[in-house]
Amino acid sequence: MKYFLYWGCSLEGTGANFLVSLKPACEALAMEFEEIEDWNCCGASVSYAGANDLSIKVLNARNLALAEAKGSYDIVAPCSSCYIQMIKVNHEIQEDPELLKQVNECLTEGGLSYKGGIKVRHIQDVLYNDVGLDKIKEKVIKPLNGLKVAGYVGCQSVRPYGEYDSVDKPVVQDRLLEALGAEAVPFPKKIRCCGSGIFLPEIDYCLELVKDILEDAINHGAELVSTVCPMCAMNLEMYQGRINDKYGTDFDIPIVYLTQLMAVAFGLDMKKDAALNYNVIPPEGILQAALGH
Amino acid sequence: MEKNVNYDPSFAQEVFENVDAGEEIKMCMNCGVCAGSCPLRFNMDYPPRQIFQMIRLGKRDEVLNAKSIMLCTSCYTCKVRCPRSIPVIDVMHGLAHYAIKQGILTRRDTANFGREFWNQVYRLGRIDEKDLPRRVFFAAGFIEGIKATLKYLDMGLKLFLHRRMKLLPERKIKGIQSLRKMLDKAEKMGKGGAAA
């Protein structure tokens, strides 16, 4: 199974533990990736402040065109912001020949063109639908032994089209967690937005969003929160101290990427492959306790 | 409550013509599902459905100065739930772009963050996660910049120590010149690119 991998800017920096763990975990499942050479940023969710809509479409179309010129594999975008930007632009281009023409008029300025033949997918989509739960279960040699994990889906990773999961009541991440041997705790705030890209400039409003999400996860028994989005991971993990200061709470719950849990359950190296040392709130203790049962 | 509502279509016309996705509000039946779905609804001055109604009423200043149009977290909940399939988020982004373009900075930090983000995409083709907050912090002035840097220093340090902050500055993508040509063209051709 070969795919283009479009990992985006965050996964080289604040979301590095996602990319570092994704590669070995997916390779263990016989997935093969090719980078889109010289890819550019997707514009994320805040570019509208400086750019009009067509510019953001063209920005994403450049990546689609670069991929299309190299092959016909699906593009896997693990970062939920990259995913939603790219899949949205791709759909809009594919459904509207007039828009495709406009976008190509702009791409031509830089010597590229896009026919509209590429498919954009989320990492959860390919894990669930292409690899499948059975194959994932086969690879598990260190099951997570009922570790209570809150599968925080966030918002963008299943939207806007709900191509592989419900946009309002998603289940795919929970099924994947269960395949690793964890217990996916139900919690209603699993699709509540964390503040995403405007967290930093609107911190006074967004701290409360994260407080509510963490409270909900913990009240439903979670020992650990998993996510598939670098903004979710950043906002949920790095601001716990500030939330504790503001609201008098005592949050200290590790936030890990789903792919980190996969690497652990597949028996891969805790540091080199699962990248657990990248986490600021250490998850090792909880994971070791679960594995040791 | 106003008893006699007078619609003034002049601003609505302006929105249809100049705001990206602006014409989508024609489908709004004011049900309020978007208002109930928004994570930051309690911090908004007007919920999206009310913004749409105010556009129809010709309340130009109130709409373009509204805090609401700057508070979108881009979670898409409003879009996926709208019974009339209005991309509410696209309209809010379009309105924010239009307002900022005219120098209206109701949420200064958020506007600066978004503008700096885009500037960096245009300059490098990618985002430098160290450089972006620095530019946003110092956009408000030198003293403010120092204060904000000190306020977030602990986080930056923790991320760096956990290998989540690149030390070297982000380099330009190879195709930066051709990317800029594409974006220049799109800026001219696009609807929301029209000068106010």
Instruction: Provide ipTM, 2 decimals.
Output: 0.95
The model carries a pTM of 0.96
Distance in angstroms (rounded) separating the CA atoms of residues B67 and B155: 28
Angle between helix B48-56 and helix B9-18 axes, rounded to 10 deg: 110
- CB-count exposure of residue B156 (10 Å: 0-12, 13-18, 19+): middle
Q: How far is CA B132 from CA A118, B37, B119, in A?
A: 31, 30, 10
Q: Mean pLDDT for chain B?
A: 94
pLDDT band at residue B6 using 50, 70 and 90 as cut-offs? confident
Distance in angstroms (rounded) separating the CA atoms of residues B88 and B36: 13
A20 versus B130: the higher-pLDDT residue is: A20
The reply to whether A98 touches chain B by the CB within 8 Å rule is no
Q: Given an 8 Å threshold on Cβ–Cβ distance, is B74 in contact with A196?
A: yes
What 3 state SS string does chain A have?
CEEEECCCCHHHCCCHHHHHHHHHHHHCCCCEEEECCCCCCCCCCCHHHCCCHHHHHHHHHHHHHHHHHHCCCCEECCCHHHHHHHHHHHHHHHHCHHHHHHHHHHHHHCCCCCCCCCCEECHHHHHHHHHCHHHHHHHCCCCCCCCEEEEECCCHHHCCCCCCCCCCCCCHHHHHHHHCCCEECCCHHHHCCCCHHHCCCCHHHHHHHHHHHHHHHHHCCCCEEEECCHHHHHHHHHCHHHHHHHHCCCCCCCEEEHHHHHHHHCCCCCCCCCCHHHCCCCCHHHHHHHHHC
Question: Is pLDDT of A240 > 80?
Answer: yes
Say which residues have a Cβ less than 8 Å from residue B132's Cβ, sequence separation at least 6: B113, B116, B117, B120
Per-residue pLDDT tens for A140-155? 999 999 999 999 999 9
The reply to whether A192 touches chain B by the CB within 8 Å rule is yes
Question: Is pLDDT of B79 > 70?
Answer: yes
Per-residue pLDDT tens for A114-135? 999 999 999 999 999 999 999 9
Per-residue pLDDT tens for A74-86? 999 999 999 999 9
Question: Is pLDDT of A159 > 70?
Answer: yes
Listed residue (A22, A33, A79) closest to A268, CA to CA = A22
Encoded tokens for A90: 């791709």
- CB-count exposure of residue B48 (10 Å: 0-12, 13-18, 19+): buried
Of A9, A62, A209, the CB nearest to B39: A209
Q: Given an 8 Å threshold on Cβ–Cβ distance, is A52 in contact with B190?
A: yes
Q: Given an 8 Å threshold on Cβ–Cβ distance, is A155 in contact with B76?
A: yes
Using a CB-CB cut-off of 8 Å, the residues of chain A touching B96 are 48-49
Question: Is pLDDT of A157 > 50?
Answer: yes
Q: Where are the domains of chain A?
A: 2-121, 138-292
pLDDT band at residue B5 using 50, 70 and 90 as cut-offs? confident
- pLDDT of amino acid A293: 58
pLDDT band at residue B193 using 50, 70 and 90 as cut-offs? low
- Which architecture, in CATH terms, is A2-121? Up-down Bundle (1.20)
The C-alpha of B9 sits at a distance from chain A's nearest C-alpha, in angstroms, of 24
What does the angle CA A250 – CA A251 – CA A255 come to, to the nearest 5 degrees?
Answer: 170
Distance in angstroms (rounded) separating the CA atoms of residues A43 and A40: 9
The reply to whether A107 touches chain B by the CB within 8 Å rule is yes
Q: Given an 8 Å threshold on Cβ–Cβ distance, is B191 in contact with A102?
A: no
What does the angle CA A246 – CA B92 – CA A214 come to, to the nearest 5 degrees?
Answer: 30
Per-residue pLDDT tens for A277-293? 999 999 999 999 999 85
Q: How far is CA B193 from CA B39, B94, B182, B189, in A?
A: 29, 10, 14, 7
Of B74, B119, B125, the CB nearest to A45: B74
Question: Is pLDDT of A113 > 50?
Answer: yes
Residue of chain B whose alpha carbon sits nearest to that of A195: B73
How many residue pairs from chains A and B have C-beta atoms closer than 8 A? 224
Per-residue pLDDT tens for B97-142? 999 999 999 999 999 999 999 999 999 999 999 999 999 999 889 9
The CATH number that domain A138-292 falls under is 3.40.50.11810
Using a CB-CB cut-off of 8 Å, the residues of chain B touching A50 are 97, 100, 114-119
Question: Is pLDDT of B196 > 50?
Answer: no
A34 conformational bin, left if phi > 0, alpha if psi -120 to 50, beta if neither: beta
Using a CB-CB cut-off of 8 Å, the residues of chain B touching A159 are 75-76, 79-80
Per-residue pLDDT tens for A50-83? 999 999 999 999 999 999 999 999 999 999 999 9
Residues 36 through 95 of chain A touching chain B, CB cutoff 8 Å: 38-41, 43-55, 57-59, 62, 81, 84
Using a CB-CB cut-off of 8 Å, the residues of chain A touching B98 are none
The C-alpha of B56 sits at a distance from chain A's nearest C-alpha, in angstroms, of 23
Question: Is pLDDT of B195 > 80?
Answer: no
Q: Given an 8 Å threshold on Cβ–Cβ distance, is B79 in contact with A159?
A: yes
pLDDT band at residue B1 using 50, 70 and 90 as cut-offs? low
Q: Given an 8 Å threshold on Cβ–Cβ distance, is B121 in contact with A41?
A: yes
Pairing of strands A148-152, A224-227: parallel
